[in-house]
Amino acid sequence: MYYLGIDIGSLSCDAVLIDHENKIMASSVVPTGAQNRIAIERATQEVFKTAHITPKDVKATVSTGYGRDRVEERLAAVTEITCHARGIRHLLPKTNVLIDIGGQDSKTIRIDDNSLVVDFAMNDKCAAGTGRFLEAMARALQVDIEELAKLDHGASGHVTLSSMCTVFAESEVVSLIADGISPHEIVHGLNRAIATRILGLVHRVAPSINGLSVAMSGGVAHNSGVIRALSEGLNCEILVPPRPDTVGALGAALIARERDS
Amino acid sequence: MDKTQKYIGWACTYTPLPLIEASGFTPYRLLPTTQAPDRSGHKLHDNLCPHIKKILDRALDNDLPPLAGIVFVNSCDAMHRLADAWNQVRPHDNTILIDLPIASPMLQGPGALSTGPIANDEKSVDFLSQEFSKLSQTLAEWSGETPTKAATQEGLSHYHEIYNLLDEIKNHHIKGTLNKGGAFMQDLYNQAATQSSTQTLESLKKCLASFQETPSLHKGIPLFLFGNVLPDPEAFSLFESCGAYIVADNLCTGFRQFAAYDKIPPGLNNDQDVFAFLARSLLMRTPCARTFDPQKPLYIADQLLAEARSYGVRGAIGHTVKFCDPYLARLPIIREVFKKAKMPLLLLEGDCTLRSMGQHRTRIEAFVEMLG
Amino acid sequence: MISQYFDSLISGIEAKIKEDPKAFHPRKKYTLEVARLGKRLYAREGPIASPMLQGPGALPTGPIALCGVTTPFDLLNAMGVTSCFVEFIGALLASSGTVAPFLEKAEHSGYASDSCGYHRAVLGASQEGLMPHPDFLIATSCPCSGGLATMENLAHHYKKDLFLLHIPQDLSKKNVDYLARQIMEMETFVTRHTGRPLDPDRLLKVIEKTNQARELMVEIYHLAQHIPSPNSGKELGNFAIVMALLLGTDAAIDVTRAYRDEFAARLHAGSSGVPQERLRLMWIQNRIQFKNSIIPDLEKNYQASVIVDELNSMTWDPIDPHDPYVGFAERAISIPFNGGVERRVQHLKKLAQDYKIDGAINPCHWGCRQGTGARGLIEEGLKEIGVPVLNLEVDCVDTRNYAEGQLKTRLGAFFEMLHSRH
């Protein structure tokens, strides 16, 4: 018996398949594109293929993410907040605070010892500090997103970005390049700006993180530079699970299994 | 709209509705529900609360019934700017601005202070009473008639009756036996705010007459909703579609509009008594964040918590409109007090439209999941 | 720590004045008095049990009060209280370049970044223990709802008594009497907290000094109307609003006299604040409190001089020493920020005409519903008399949100337009 979780985000559609013992059998990440029905189909076909199963083998499906109501054959649509909490505690059982930074939004979730959400804070009104923001900055610096993650090494940290709006920050970065400021310093400044933004969201759910375990998920969790800046800002270690972009889909699959029994 | 009636526009729940009726007018609340295009940002500034901006947009677009006049209240900076701009864009309208004091005497209801009135606050009552006297004279000039004692008494008793009937319907809604949902309640409030008290009494009595108590069918998580402006009944349907059942509200587009009329004391023999009574009632009723007692700073948080607890809810939602300075400054203490009391709280910020509510769907559903 | 900052600022300025008395500028005197006030406000770096003025343990600086903008500060000066409106601290933090962490602190504790930066700075500083520790607070309903809410928050934070002055909107006799009675009650409130009633003789002396400073301010403003003006952009920035804190003291007289003498001397010598003054500007409401090059640039590049600020004008009559509370009340009600925008626009129109203004700059301070909320109406009002307005969307306190390039583009375009009209 298998259980499927599908996270339909604005940028990517992720699917995770687990078995009756909560073991991850397969996962996939595909771009959502303009038609999320096609993305849902592709994401699910990929996991079925990897796991060598057919749709009939799936006992229950839970969907999450902004497009969660578009999965027709679902047991339930559950918000990404609940799913992320469930998913991260499966991968990192001691997590108390989760920072999730996706393509277009960011959120922080306070989780109790029963993997239940105690509080949450979201920023989905602007792209500042999200994957989209970093993509724009990578473009301005003419590097790819993977290179951007490592570019802050060796920076002294004297550059501060004054604008967090994606559009204005991009033009600020272009001006800094024109002024001869090194990309290392610029990226360090960017990471610190993102961290400052996210710290506000963390404080909303956890005014003090003393004694709490903090983890990160979402696409931006691949960016070690941002993680370094967050870790410095919070003065604590930030744990990142393997496949951080599929934490929501994993949580959805786990909930599918729980609700089916 | 009833063409035989003469409407007086109003926008703030500190407006003494019985005085408007006593002068032969029908109070018509200028709700911020309109398709009028956004032009008020240019007239004033974009970063003002959407409540007053949409009201001003209605004025700019002439999306208004014929109004014999408008009563504004100086309840906050944005409200004052609304009055300022209205006088510019519709200079031929009759308008008056009531200057509203800040200090409230002791509060009523859950969380009421046990201490007696404070000298500072009695001055507030006197001041507001005199403002109401000025209002009454102005309304008389607009109507061409001085309100009679009988008309004033009728106005008071009508709004008292409206309070009682709404309270009765509200109690059924709280128990869940009304089985009509929050949209129905909000619709009742909107009707009561935009038609004469006589029409409102008729429709409320009809509602109660046809009412048959049924077992509670609502399945949502019971929640208390507080804040300021949320007049669209569909917003309440949206809450319910997310699994939240709004048991009771403390909104200025909700029950708070009529909360001041819960009691009519005997012996209001003359106008001064009536003005003083209305001033005290309005300043004492469950407050908007702009009114506070200087002897108990930030008491609003305790008061809201007490109110939420009195309804036996599982959590609370605070919905305020963007750029509302009175609420923005009190949200941190509200959050802190609710957190300490372990009363789950979700804070939402909107723009008076259903569109902004739609964006909140994920938050509301996540909150309900968290409580479930 | 903050006290040391003011100490070094004071000794720096005193040294400069001593070094070259001829190069002395009244702005130095103004800054010196601001620093001295700052030092008095931060004289004790923590709370104390009793702020009494007399008896064992009496403080040399007296009790400290945090207040709203329209508090009668000369009355508090007469009662030996050191006080300021809280936005004064916000401005000091911004001008010293230290404001950003306090804004962040406030935002992290839940105060929305949509709200006014003066208030966020103050609330953040209070949480960090870096506001002057008040013994009591006096809030005023004018100028704004945000300021009033800030005072309520501070009273809660410090657990100190709060007195509330409701400033009515209209200048009617009934309203003046109402406010005068409140001010009398405020005096009783202050006496209860200081242990010493107001000395009537001291009040008389203070009122005399207030009126003296007032006369000098009227002279300054009159001199500044001259074409070309002896005034220039930086000289009278924040002047009247800060002078309100010093009214009734010798410091206010010294500063105002210094400006009056300097402006008179310039006129006598035939010199102007900005050499070859070409454009005369009015500055509306708020100055940008942190260091920026807007004014030096417009003076250098466009020979444009900010010769009048909305707040640098006299809107109140001398205080009658026989009926001071009525005078204090009339003064509070008559400030340009009180009442409707129509009154404010009339005031701006009068200033524009008296000073023969070519254009006005309105720094629309972020989060300001009271002031910036009237942007469109002010622009329309001044347009009626042919005065163009440049609206700058700017946060006057938050250095993190300052987009200099964008502002300079707008200013440049505005001045090019003004030049082309001449």
**Which H or E element spans position A45?**
helix A36-51
CA distance B216 to A236: 49
Domain with CATH 3.40.50.11900 in chain C: 201-421
- For chain C, what is the largest distance between any 2 Cα atoms, rounded to a whole number of angstroms? 69
**How far is residue B343 from each of residues B224, B298, B334, measured CA to CA in Å?**
11, 18, 11
Inspect the interface and report whether the beta carbons of A204 and C110 lie closer than 8 Å.
yes
Tell me which chain B residue has its CA closest to the CA of residue A81.
B366
Residues of C in contact with B97 (CB under 8 A): 169, 340
Residue A121 has pLDDT above 80, yes or no: yes
Mean pLDDT of A230-254: 94
Q: Pick from C162, C375, C383 the residue to mutate for testing the B interface (most B CBs within 10 Å).
A: C375
Please give the average pLDDT of every successive group of 10 residues along chain B, which has 372 residues: 84 97 96 90 92 96 96 97 97 97 65 44 89 97 93 95 95 83 93 96 92 73 95 93 93 94 88 94 90 92 96 96 96 96 95 78 94 92
**How far is residue C282 from each of residues B311, C297, C390, measured CA to CA in Å?**
56, 16, 10
- The reported pLDDT for the residue numbered B119 is 43
Inspect the interface and report whether the beta carbons of B366 and A116 lie closer than 8 Å.
no
Domain with CATH 3.40.50.11890 in chain C: 2-200
Neighbours of C192 (CB within 10 A): 12
* CB within 8 Å of chain B, chain C residues 144-173: 144-146, 148-150, 152-153, 155-156, 161-164, 166, 168-170
Tell me which chain A residue has its CA closest to the CA of residue C104.
A200
DSSP code, position C131: S
Note whether C305 and C273 are within 8 A (CB): yes
First and final C-alpha spacing in chain C: 52
Instruction: Summarize pLDDT for B269-285 with one digit per residue, the tens.
Output: 789 999 999 999 999 88
- The reported pLDDT for the residue numbered A155 is 80
Strand partners, A117: A111
Inspect the interface and report whether the beta carbons of B297 and C145 lie closer than 8 Å.
no
Which residues touch B69 (CB under 8 Å, ≥6 apart)? Answer: B8, B9, B25, B93, B94, B95, B96, B138, B139, B142
Q: Where are the domains of chain B?
A: 7-147
- The reported pLDDT for the residue numbered A60 is 96
**How far is residue B331 from each of residues B103, B326, B359, C317, measured CA to CA in Å?**
19, 9, 20, 41
Asked if C403 has any chain A CB less than 8 Å from its own CB, the reply is yes
**How far is residue B197 from each of residues B28, B159, B165, B169, B192, measured CA to CA in Å?**
11, 7, 12, 16, 7
Q: Give the pair of three-digit tokens for residue C421.
A: 């009209």
- The reported pLDDT for the residue numbered A162 is 62
Q: What global pTM score does this model have?
A: 0.89
Beta-sheet strand order (sheet of A76-77): A24-31, A12-19, A2-8, A58-64, A76-77
Q: How much is the CA Rg of chain A, to the nearest whole Å?
A: 19
Inspect the interface and report whether the beta carbons of B335 and C111 lie closer than 8 Å.
no
Among B97, B99, B322, beta carbon nearest to C114: B322
Inspect the interface and report whether the beta carbons of A79 and B359 lie closer than 8 Å.
no
Asked if A66 has any chain B CB less than 8 Å from its own CB, the reply is yes
Tell me which chain A residue has its CA closest to the CA of residue C108.
A200
| CATH for C2-200, options being 3.40.1160.10, 3.40.50.11890, 3.30.365.10, 2.60.40.10 | 3.40.50.11890
Note whether B81 and B51 are within 8 A (CB): no
Residues of A in contact with B366 (CB under 8 A): 79-82, 117, 120
- Please name the CATH architecture into which domain B7-147 falls: 3-Layer(aba) Sandwich (3.40)
**Would you list the DSSP string of B25-66?**
-EEEE--S-------HHHHS-SSS-HHHHHHHHHHHHT-S--
Domains of chain A: 2-88+246-260 (3.30.420.40), 94-240 (3.30.420.40)
Neighbours of chain C (3+ CB pairs under 8 A): A, B
Tell me which chain B residue has its CA closest to the CA of residue A66.
B362
Nearest CA among B71, B73, B27, B33 for reference residue B53: B33
Asked if B52 has any chain C CB less than 8 Å from its own CB, the reply is no
Asked if B298 has any chain C CB less than 8 Å from its own CB, the reply is yes
DSSP code, position C198: P
Secondary-structure class of domain C201-421 per CATH: alpha beta
Q: Pick from A7, A70, A80, A81 the residue to mutate for testing the B interface (most B CBs within 10 Å).
A: A81
Inspect the interface and report whether the beta carbons of B369 and A82 lie closer than 8 Å.
yes
Residue C365, Cβ density class (10 Å: 0-12 exposed, 13-18 middle, ≥19 buried): buried
Q: Between residues A16 and A146, which one has the greater pLDDT?
A: A16
Note whether A192 and A226 are within 8 A (CB): no
Q: How far is B17 from chain C (nearest CA, A)?
A: 22
Q: Residue written as tokens 């609370």?
A: B316
Of A23-27, A119-123, B58-62, B135-139, the poorest mean pLDDT is in A119-123
Asked if A133 has any chain B CB less than 8 Å from its own CB, the reply is no
Inspect the interface and report whether the beta carbons of B370 and A82 lie closer than 8 Å.
yes
Long-range pairs, C214-217, Cβ under 8 A, ≥24: C214/C247, C214/C314, C214/C316, C214/C318, C215/C318, C216/C253, C216/C256, C216/C257, C216/C259, C216/C260, C217/C243, C217/C256, C217/C314
Q: How much is the CA Rg of chain C, to the nearest whole Å?
A: 21
Inspect the interface and report whether the beta carbons of B99 and C168 lie closer than 8 Å.
yes
Asked if A79 has any chain B CB less than 8 Å from its own CB, the reply is yes
Mind listing the pLDDT tens digit of every residue in chain C (422 residues)? 788 889 999 999 999 888 887 767 899 999 999 999 999 999 886 555 444 444 454 455 689 999 999 999 999 999 999 999 999 999 999 999 999 999 999 999 999 999 999 999 999 999 999 999 999 999 999 999 999 999 999 999 999 999 999 999 999 999 999 999 999 999 999 999 999 999 999 999 999 999 999 999 999 999 999 999 999 999 999 999 999 999 999 999 999 999 999 999 999 999 999 999 999 999 999 899 999 999 999 999 999 999 999 999 999 999 999 999 999 999 999 998 899 999 999 999 999 999 999 999 999 999 999 999 999 999 999 999 999 999 998 999 998 888 887 788 788 888 888 887 76
Sign of the dihedral defined by the CA atoms of residues C146, C152, C157, C160, in that order = positive
Nearest CA among A91, A100, A107 for reference residue A254: A91
Inspect the interface and report whether the beta carbons of B76 and C145 lie closer than 8 Å.
yes
Instruction: Summarize pLDDT for A65-107 with one digit per residue, the tens.
Output: 888 888 888 999 888 888 999 999 999 999 999 999 987 788 9
- The reported pLDDT for the residue numbered A161 is 72
Asked if A126 has any chain B CB less than 8 Å from its own CB, the reply is no
CA distance C11 to C6: 9
Asked if B42 has any chain C CB less than 8 Å from its own CB, the reply is yes
Among A66, A117, A124, beta carbon nearest to B370: A117
Q: How far is C314 from chain B (nearest CA, A)?
A: 24
E strands, chain A, are 2-8, 12-19, 24-31, 58-64, 76-77, 97-101, 106-111, 117-123, 214-217, 238-239
Name every residue in B having a CB less than 8 A away from some CB of A: 359, 362-363, 365-366, 369-370
Name every residue in A having a CB less than 8 A away from some CB of C: 162-163, 168, 175, 196, 199-200, 203-204, 207
Q: From the centroid of its chain, how far is CA A133?
A: 14
* CB within 8 Å of chain B, chain C residues 329-358: 340-342
Q: Omega of the bond prior to C143 within 30 degrees of 0, cis?
A: yes
Q: How far is C90 from chain A (nearest CA, A)?
A: 20
Inspect the interface and report whether the beta carbons of A203 and C108 lie closer than 8 Å.
yes
Inspect the interface and report whether the beta carbons of B363 and A122 lie closer than 8 Å.
yes
- The reported pLDDT for the residue numbered B115 is 43
Neighbours of A178 (CB within 10 A): 8
Is the ipTM here above 0.90? Answer: yes
Q: How much is the CA Rg of chain B, to the nearest whole Å?
A: 20
